[in-house]
Amino acid sequence: MGSNYIYKCTACNYKEQVSGGKDRGKLVSTETMTCPDCLRLVDTVTAIACDPELAARMKVDIAKQKGRCCHCGGLNLLPWKAQACPKCGGKMEKLEGGPVRMWD
């Protein structure tokens, strides 16, 4: 089961709900990436973890989501390095309180 947390930039106060790295649920594996097109953090699908027939029965077109920004549809995603803010380059910190969302 995957988990999402709130990360906040200490410099510009930008916030985003992401896993903060590599994560996995029953259907997909994800990784937190930076989108240089819309300057946001995004958890993007990196691998399909289930049988494609199961995904089709569930009417989930996860293949189209693989490697795309869910905010702008961009394909220029970069791995999130050193917890840097995509807006200003400042330090992003995970807010305390545990996961805000569990997903599968």
**How does pLDDT run across 44-75, given as a tens digit for each residue?**
888 876 666 766 666 556 666 778 888 998 99
Host H or E run for residue 59: none
- Is 0.85 topped by the overall pTM? no
Mean pLDDT score of the chain:
85
Host H or E run for residue 31: strand 28-35
φ, ψ (nearest 5 deg) of residue 65: -85, -20
Task: Report the pLDDT value the prediction gives residue 27, as an integer from 0 to 100.
Answer: 76
Task: Report the pLDDT value the prediction gives residue 52, as an integer from 0 to 100.
Answer: 66
- Which runs of consecutive H residues, i.e. helices, occur in 1-104? 52-57, 62-65
Residue 102 has pLDDT above 90, yes or no: no
Encode burial over 46-75: b for 16+ CB neighbours within 10 A, e otherwise: bebeeeeeebeeeeeebeebeebbeeeebe
Residue 38 has pLDDT above 90, yes or no: yes
Task: Report the pLDDT value the prediction gives residue 63, as an integer from 0 to 100.
Answer: 60
Residue 37 has pLDDT above 90, yes or no: yes
